[in-house]
A and B are shown apart, each in its own frame.
Chain A
């Protein structure tokens, strides 16, 4: 990773150089892709089967989120450490879901407490 250094502060601070991003990606292209995907999810919501709607719109959301992460947030050019950091977050999320899953799915419908 190429870095350069700013002066004028109490200490040197590592700042990213433009080369960090291998030149900037075509942001307009990414933005238009996001708009197209957004239109797809809105149109898909007009379908009649709720389960199909759920899977289509959720899949489109995953693609849109990935595009923003990779290109707008430059994750594609980030070092392995950042990927590991996000991987750990996903693992923590998985543990959270495993812990809470029985409370929601394996219980009966909401019961009004007496008294």
Chain B
């Protein structure tokens, strides 16, 4: 079979597919972020709740994700030149960043849960702080969903890198997986100041 499969306007299929996925993700996370902002402006007590988040951990995680985005573009650059060793190296650096991010986030979650800031927020409810429990619902939904995307992105990069370096072909898939990874970074770029910096 030698049929030429081209997507509309000659855009590579993988790239078009990932851009479509990204457009959908922007609506999901954009909706969550805007709803968070509106609630934050409405309820002053959300500012008090935000003070319980770990700013240092959030700051380190932001640096980690920004750096991982740089590693991904370097991997893409190496993939275009079909430089197997460099592709491996940059993607492994990115995966290490993903693991670091998840490790720091897990530490944060542990700390917050131990202080009673849970999704059902039982201790806050017992104190009659119903609005405050909503803050933690938003917090865990937004950061949890983002964390799942970090896991998905890291797995996608790993499998695409493994296939490309083993077979020596399909390097262009790295660009598609990389696009997804940058989207994960952009979402965090908006989540970080909203959750950690604005008290």
Residues of A within 8 A of B (CB): 1, 3, 5-6, 8-16, 18, 24, 27-28, 31, 34-35, 38, 41-42, 44-45, 50, 53-54, 57-58, 60-61, 64-65, 68-69, 72-73, 78-82, 85-86, 88-90, 92-93, 96-97, 100-101, 104-105, 109-110, 112
Residues of B within 8 A of A (CB): 1-13, 15-16, 19-20, 22-24, 26-27, 30-31, 34-35, 38-39, 42-43, 47, 59, 62-63, 66-67, 69-70, 72-74, 77, 80, 128, 130-131, 134, 169-170, 172, 175, 179, 182-183, 185-186, 189-190, 192-194, 197-199
Q: Given contacts A6-B169, A72-B182, is CB(A12)–CB(B39) below 8 Å?
A: no
Query: B23, A104: Cβ atoms under 8 Å?
Result: no
Note all chain B residues with C-beta closer than 8 A to A109. 42-43, 131
The answer, among B24, B80, B193, for a CB contact under 8 Å with A58, is B193
The answer, among A45, A60, A90, A93, for a CB contact under 8 Å with B198, is A45
Overall SS of chain B's interface: helix
The answer, among B10, B19, B179, for a CB contact under 8 Å with A85, is B19
In angstroms, Cα B172 to Cα A24, docked, is 15
The answer, among B69, B72, B193, for a CB contact under 8 Å with A41, is B193
Supplied contacts A16-B172, A73-B179, 15 more A-B pairs, CB within 8 Å? A3-B12, A6-B169, A11-B5, A12-B4, A24-B73, A24-B77, A44-B197, A60-B193, A68-B69, A68-B185, A81-B11, A85-B19, A90-B30, A96-B34, A110-B131
Overall SS of chain A's interface: helix
Note all chain A residues with C-beta closer than 8 A to B22. 86
Query: B169, A93: Cβ atoms under 8 Å?
Result: no
Query: B172, A72: Cβ atoms under 8 Å?
Result: no
A11 → chain B, closest Cβ, in Å?
Answer: 5
A7 → chain B, closest Cβ, in Å?
Answer: 9
Question: Which residue in chain B gives the minimum CB-CB distance to A42?
Answer: B59
Query: A12, B5: Cβ atoms under 8 Å?
Result: yes
Query: B189, A104: Cβ atoms under 8 Å?
Result: no
The answer, among A60, A65, A104, for a CB contact under 8 Å with B38, is A104
| Of A8, A65, A73, A104, most B-chain CB atoms within 10 Å | A73
